[in-house]
Amino acid sequence: MSEFREPNAMTDGYAQVEGTRWRDWLKAEAARLGFDRCGVAAVQRPVPTANRFLAWAADGRAGEMEYLVRNADRRCDPGLVVEGAASWIVVARNIYLGDPAPDAAAVVARYAWVRDYHRWMEKALKSLATGLRAEVGGEAKLRYYVDTGPVLERDAAARAGLGWIGKHTNLIAPDLGNWLMLGVILTDLELPADPPMRDHCGRCRRCIDACPTGAITAPYRVDARRCISYLTIELRGWIPTEFRVAIGNRLFGCDICLEVCPWNRFAKVAALEGIERREAWRRPKPLEWLELGEAEFRSLFQGHPILRVKREGLLRNCCVVLGNSGDPAAVSGLARRLLDEHESPVVRGHAAWALGRIGGAAARAVLADAHSRLSAGFQDDPDPDRARLKAEVCAAASGSV
């Protein structure tokens, strides 16, 4: 909207009235679309926390999430994403549905109990952007993202006054806690900004102390390579052995640092009307999921976040959780995976590790069988996954896991 940039007192006054009207419309419409929070921040170029992001990326803390580093310049400068970018519109949706079953064999992160948030949040954001375009009656540029763009969503959310960034690096709203998913619209419209909120973490460090892998290496700093969420969702292939025990019963994602945050005493159970959810995933069944074939996997998780890890990733994670359970009832299922020559070496290798952890005569017999089948050509298999599988079996069979 070019008239917004006229250095003219009359026009500027008009723009402010219009901007306020649009912002009010936005908040009401966002609420109607089901969002629990909506706020506006002025775009700054580069974003004031650019150096934090660049240092994080330069340290290698993004691990294999190379896409975060590849477009670092755009992440730090919204003007490279939308020409003439002037405002962030940020929305948040509460996804809290209560807690996992206390006696569950495994835990799936809460956000994955509901249909993939990218889909329904993007749909609602598209409606919000389309409505705003009609409201302003102009050629406004409006680009919306839910994880899908080169933008720092938490940074924008904090500056738009939705809450503050806690030491666990997630956004906390004082009256809702930290169970919020975010989405943003980046626009060239100049909208009046909301005031940012101050940090209320104080001297608390519960999240840092609770993290089982030491991934929160300092307040407000997460090393993704150590984070269970990264290890069980983003990382393809082999989970580094040093983290497998610490993963415990976390089958997909991790909520530990979020769970311990005292601000969740204000969390409210979300209505999430019209959004499909899987209450059964409060109590996931890793032994049953270990038996899933490709087609069954796709049909069970279609439209849900777990689809992202593909069958190989899910079965790999099931093996780790079952190994950590120490439950001898898991031996036969793990043995089937390990001895199946058509199974992926990654799943077979993690099954071997799990059998090594469970121990006992039955597990040792399976490992000895696998070892003798695989030991031919043990030293120099040219395929790195097969070579790794053999090494995992060898380590598990010799009792060194």
Instruction: Enumerate the active-site residues.
Output: 147
Q: Which is nearer to ligand B12, 64 or 296 (CB)?
A: 64
Q: Which residue's CB is nearer to ligand SF4, number 189 or number 201?
A: 201
CB of 347 to ligand SF4, least distance (A): 22
Query: Is the Cβ of residue 156 or residue 334 nearer to ligand B12 in the bound state?
Result: 156
Strands 216-218 and 221-222 come out as antiparallel
Residue number with the shortest CB distance to ligand SF4? 166
CA distance 91 to 96: 16
Whole-angstrom CA distances from 278 to 115, 233, 311 are 8, 19, 18
> What's the closest the beta carbon of residue 75 comes to ligand SF4, in angstroms?
20
Rounded to a whole number of angstroms, the minimum distance from the CB of residue 279 to ligand SF4 is: 23
Supply 397's token pair: 């069979």
Nearer to ligand B12, 182 or 363 (CB): 182
68 contact, one of ligand B12, ligand SF4, none, CB 5-8 Å limit per kind: ligand B12
Nearer to ligand SF4 by Cβ, of 47 and 228: the residue is 228
Q: What are phi and psi of 183, to 5 degrees?
A: -150, 155
The H or E element spanning position 369 is helix 361-374
Task: List b or e across 26-64, with b for residues whose CB sees 16 or more CB atoms inside 10 angstroms.
Answer: bbebbeebbbbbbbbbebbebbebbeebbebbeeebbbe
Contacting residues toward ligand B12, per CB under 6 A:
47, 49, 52-53, 56, 65, 68, 109, 111, 146-147, 151-155, 165, 168-171, 178, 180-182, 220, 222, 224, 227, 229-230, 234, 253-255, 257-258
Distance in angstroms (rounded) separating the CA atoms of residues 303 and 276: 10
197 interface partner picked from ligand B12, ligand SF4, none, CB below 5 to 8 A per type: none
CB of 356 to ligand SF4, least distance (A): 23
88 vs 19: CA distance, rounded Å:
13
Strand pairing of 37-42 and 87-94? antiparallel
Q: How far is the CB of 222 from ligand SF4 (least distance, A)?
A: 5
**How remote is the C-alpha of 35 from its chain's centroid?**
19
Give the one entry of ligand SF4, ligand B12, none that residue 56 binds, where binding means its C-beta sits below a cut-off of 5 to 8 angstroms depending on kind.
Answer: ligand B12
Least Å distance between CB 52 and ligand B12? 4
Q: How far apart are the first and last CA of the chain?
A: 63
> Using CB distances below 5 to 8 A depending on partner kind, what does residue 262 bind out of ligand SF4, ligand B12, none?
ligand SF4
Tokens coding 331: 């031996």
**Angle at the Cα of 261 from the Cα atoms of 255 and 267, rounded to 5 degrees:** 85
Where on the chain is the footprint of ligand SF4 (CB under 6 A)?
A: 166-168, 201, 204-207, 211, 213, 215-216, 222, 227-229, 254, 256-257, 260-263
Amino acid in the structure at residue 328 = P
Nearer to ligand SF4, 40 or 261 (CB): 261
Reduced to 3 states (helix: H, G, I; strand: E, B; else coil), residue 110 is helix
205 binds, among ligand B12, ligand SF4, none (CB under 5 to 8 A by kind): ligand SF4
| Number of residue whose CB is nearest ligand B12 | 253
Angstrom distance (rounded) from CA 240 to CA 247: 11
Give which of ligand SF4, ligand B12, none residue 204 binds (C-beta under 5 to 8 Å, depending on kind): ligand SF4
